[in-house]
């Protein structure tokens, strides 16, 4: 079907994405990702250098500053899916459709300066941790607790089925800061790899998307600085309900993209299994 939603700038960007996919998403590379259970860091850094991740990160923090034009993200989805590289769509999506919007829209200036440049460059791999072993995707029932103690939160609990979890440098984690308030007692904290008591389980075996890094995360009296609170305390559930819409739109778009092979991109399209965090 002929589309008229893209202009010359979008099509020029599409050429960049096609060249990236041709170079970095070869059949050999895709097989290696499947064997390793993850997209390698070198590919993520190359994507940052090519300017095809961090699209909505403001230019002052090293991104493309395309916050108001999701069509550029749509092009990335279309081209990587057309090449049969659904794993890239997932890895890029965690960065651009999940992690980045929380920091861009809710983060402090200091948080943006600290995290966004590395995310945009592909140096920092992000995860977002919502799903728990006992609660599935019932976010209002999550049990991971964060008790404020001076200038830190003490966090205990666990998460499961976390995409990018095994190799993440940063993880936005949904925690319960006030057990008495239900959904209004949930907040978001940024965890950084290396925090004492923050550990990662082994990569999980899955039906489909073997190349996707998915693992459990564990929190044993982790001390998270209060300055790592994203947004206001108690506003985490509302924030997730607002921001998850972008991920759902991206998943839908990837599925429609999997039905059509780009005329100029080598490789066969393949079905993509969708999972819930």
Point out the residues that are catalytic. Answer: 247
CB burial class (10 A; 0-12, 13-18, 19+) of residue 34? middle
How many Å from the N-terminal Cα to the C-terminal Cα in the chain? 33
* DSSP code of residue 237: H
Pairing of strands 145-149, 126-129: unpaired
HSE, side-chain direction, 13 A CA sphere, residue 67: 13
DSSP 81-112: HHTT-HHHHHHHHIIIIIIHHHHHHH--HHHH
Our measurement of the distance from residue 216's CA atom to the centroid of its chain's CA atoms, rounded to an integer in Å, reads 15
DSSP 169-229: SEEEEEEES-GGGGGGGEEEEEEETT-TTEEEEEEPP-SS-TTS-EEEEEEEEEEEEGGGE
Sign of CA dihedral 251, 252, 258, 263: negative
Residues 6+ apart with CB under 8 A from 230: 102, 103, 106, 107, 111, 172, 188, 189, 190, 236, 239
């Amino acid at each position: 079907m002929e589309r008229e939603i893209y202009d010359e700038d979008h099509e020029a960007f599409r050429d960049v994405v096609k060249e990236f996919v041709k170079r970095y998403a070869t059949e050999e590379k895709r097989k290696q990702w499947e064997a390793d259970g993850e997209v390698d860091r070198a590919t993520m850094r190359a994507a940052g250098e090519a300017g095809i991740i961090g699209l909505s990160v403001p230019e002052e923090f090293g991104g493309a500053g395309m916050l108001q034009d999701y069509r550029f993200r749509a092009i990335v989805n279309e081209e990587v899916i057309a090449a049969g590289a659904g794993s890239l769509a997932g890895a890029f999506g965690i960065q651009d459709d999940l992690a980045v919007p929380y920091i861009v829209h809710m983060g402090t200036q200091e948080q943006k300066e600290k995290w966004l440049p590395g995310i945009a460059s592909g140096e920092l791999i992000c995860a977002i941790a919502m799903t728990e072993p006992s609660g599935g995707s019932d976010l209002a029932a999550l049990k991971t607790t964060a008790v404020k103690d001076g200038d830190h939160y003490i966090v205990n609990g666990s998460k499961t089925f976390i995409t990018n979890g095994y190799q993440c440098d940063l993880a936005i984690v949904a925690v319960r800061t006030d057990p008495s308030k239900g959904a209004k007692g949930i907040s978001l904290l940024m965890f950084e790899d290396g925090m004492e008591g923050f550990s990662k389980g082994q990569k999980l075996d899955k039906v489909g998307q073997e190349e996707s890094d998915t693992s459990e995360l564990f929190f044993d009296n982790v001390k998270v600085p209060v300055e790592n609170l994203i947004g206001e305390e108690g506003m985490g559930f509302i924030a997730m309900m607002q921001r998850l819409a972008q991920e759902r739109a991206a998943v839908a778009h990837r599925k429609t993209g999997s039905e059509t092979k780009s005329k100029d991109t080598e490789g066969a399209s393949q079905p993509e299994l969708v999972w819930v965090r």
